Chain A
Amino acid sequence: DQQVKQNSPSLSVQEGRISILNCDYTNSMFDYFLWYKKYPAEGPTFLISISSIKDKNEDGRFTVFLNKSAKHLSLHIVPSQPGDSAVYFCAASYNAGNNRKLIWGLGTSLAVNP
């Protein structure tokens, strides 16, 4: 039962264009969403997050949009750069008793072509 779904295993984009990575979730309890970026042989690195009370958060070239009614969020990278080529993980968090749970998607591999 995949509560956080990244339906596109891979995405290829031309340098300078926009990259859009999508993430869908099923659990209405999620109240905080995060995107992590992972290079091969390294641990994930936090990229950007959004609280469920917002519908947009922007940080430089990265913007995350949240559509609660559709249980969908997306990460926009514009303009895309070759150094953005990595696996991007969507994660969602909720309160579970005395601690918070963090559920991860399977990741989308982004390739930005020069």
Chain B
Amino acid sequence: NAGVMQNPRHLVRRRGQEARLRCSPMKGHSHVYWYRQLPEEGLKFMVYLQKENIIDESGMPKERFSAEFPKEGPSILRIQQVVRGDSAAYFCASSQAAGGGTEAFFGQGTRLTVV
């Protein structure tokens, strides 16, 4: 049973480009969470999705950021017109039960560098 798979592991984008981060949850998991870890900081919640639905996007910046979890395929976190401040590690987690309070399993993260 493969774990949570994130790709790419490393992504370099120039300012103004788009970044697309992918997350395939563990088999049987229908709840996906995205977190961001800025340098020298802890994990910050961004968005919680179930299949085809955004449940909680209270941690997502209002502009340039979007997330989806289609019926088929991985969850995608999209950052448009990236800026230097978007450079961070982005982690995806999935769980079987509702809510992040139960044990969620994390992917290895995507490290985004904006140059």
Contact = CB atoms under 8 A, between A and B. Distances in A.
Say what secondary structure dominates the interface of chain A: strand
Given A43-B4, A99-B55, A106 B108 contact: no
A93 B93 CA distance: 15
Given A41-B108, A43-B93, A43-B108, A93 B99 contact: yes
Interface residues of B, number: 27
Contacts of B45: 101-104
B106 A99 contact: no
Chain A: number of interface residues, binned into ranges: 20 to 34
Nearest to A31: B101
Given A93-B101, A100-B99, A100-B100, A105 B109 contact: no
B106 A43 contact: yes
Contact of B98 (A6, A31, A45, A100): A100
B69 interface: no
Interface string B8-35: 0000000000000000000000000101
Interface of B: 4, 6, 33, 35, 41-45, 48, 55-56, 91, 93, 98-109, 111
Sort A-B residue pairs by CB-CB distance and give the 7 closest, nearest first.
A100-B99, A93-B101, A43-B106, A102-B100, A106-B42, A100-B101, A104-B43
